[in-house]
Amino acid sequence: DQQVKQNSPSLSVQEGRISILNCDYTNSMFDYFLWYKKYPAEGPTFLISISSIKDKNEDGRFTVFLNKSAKHLSLHIVPSQPGDSAVYFCAASSNAGGTSYGKLTFGQGTILTVHP
Amino acid sequence: DTAVSQTPKYLVTQMGNDKSIKCEQNLGHDTMYWYKQDSKKFLKIMFSYNNKELIINETVPNRFSPKSPDKAHLNLLINSLELGDSAVYFCASSLLQGSHSPLHFGNGTRLTVT
């Protein structure tokens, strides 16, 4: 029962072009979404987040879009750089009470490769 | 000046053994977590502690025992190790729990049970 899914295991783009990473979720209680970036042999690092009251959040080259009706979010990286090559994880959380409080549910990640 | 550090980085052991993984954070965060990355690469929460108090226990077998001596440390003891316990275990911390504070992860411990 995977509530957060990243259906593309990998993505390859040319340096300078746009990278678009996608994520779908099924739990309508999720109200906060995050993207993490992970290099080999390191832990994930926080990249950008978005609350469910917004449909877009931008931070430099990174923009996250949220489509609540479709239960879909995407991360756009423009322009892509070779240093962006990493695994990108989508994650979701709910501030509802009970055992879900503060818990992050992750997707399985998408490997992004940016070619020079 | 590592923010979240966990040891060891690699752990190879035989079935039936007991092993522990240590985690420390120097960020002054109130909440610490253990996540497990399984063979399908999903990161799944196991436990979270807030100021030494257990908040989340995600139906993890009783063989897994988290211990938080203070809010800067969260250790994980695994008893009677099984082949299926092989995975990468990540410790993490966040400033607040439930407030959408981003998690800060350690670099992971790769556990291999033979």
DSSP result, B46-113: EEEEETTEEEEE-S--TTEEEEEEETTEEEEEE-S--GGG-EEEEEEEESSSSS-PPPEE---EEEEE
Asked whether A89 and A104 are in contact (CB, 8 A), the reply is no
Contact across the interface for B55 and A106, Cβ inside 8 Å: no
The set of residues, in sequence order, having a beta carbon less than 8 Å from that of A83 and lying 6+ positions away, is A114
Q: Is B68 on the interface with A (CB under 8 A)?
A: no
Q: Give the pLDDT score at B105.
A: 95
Asked whether B104 and B25 are in contact (CB, 8 A), the reply is yes
Least CA distance to A37: which residue of chain B? B105
Asked whether A20 and A74 are in contact (CB, 8 A), the reply is yes
What helix, strand, coil percent values describe chain A, rounded to 5?
5, 55, 40
Q: Give the pLDDT score at A62.
A: 98
The count of residues in chain A is 116
Asked whether B47 and B68 are in contact (CB, 8 A), the reply is no
**Which residues does chain B have with pLDDT short of 50?**
none
| Angstroms from A78 CA to nearest CA on chain B | 23
* Coil, helix or strand at residue A99: helix
- State percent of chain B over pLDDT 90: 71
Least CA distance to B96: which residue of chain A? A102
- Number of helices (H), then strands (E), in chain A: 0, 11
Residues A41-77: tens digit of each pLDDT: 999 999 999 999 999 999 999 999 999 999 999 999 9
Q: Where does the pLDDT of residue A96 fall: very low under 50, low under 70, confident under 90, or very high at 90 and above?
A: low
Residues A11-31: tens digit of each pLDDT: 999 999 999 999 999 999 899
Distance (Å, rounded) from C-alpha B6 to C-alpha B22? 5
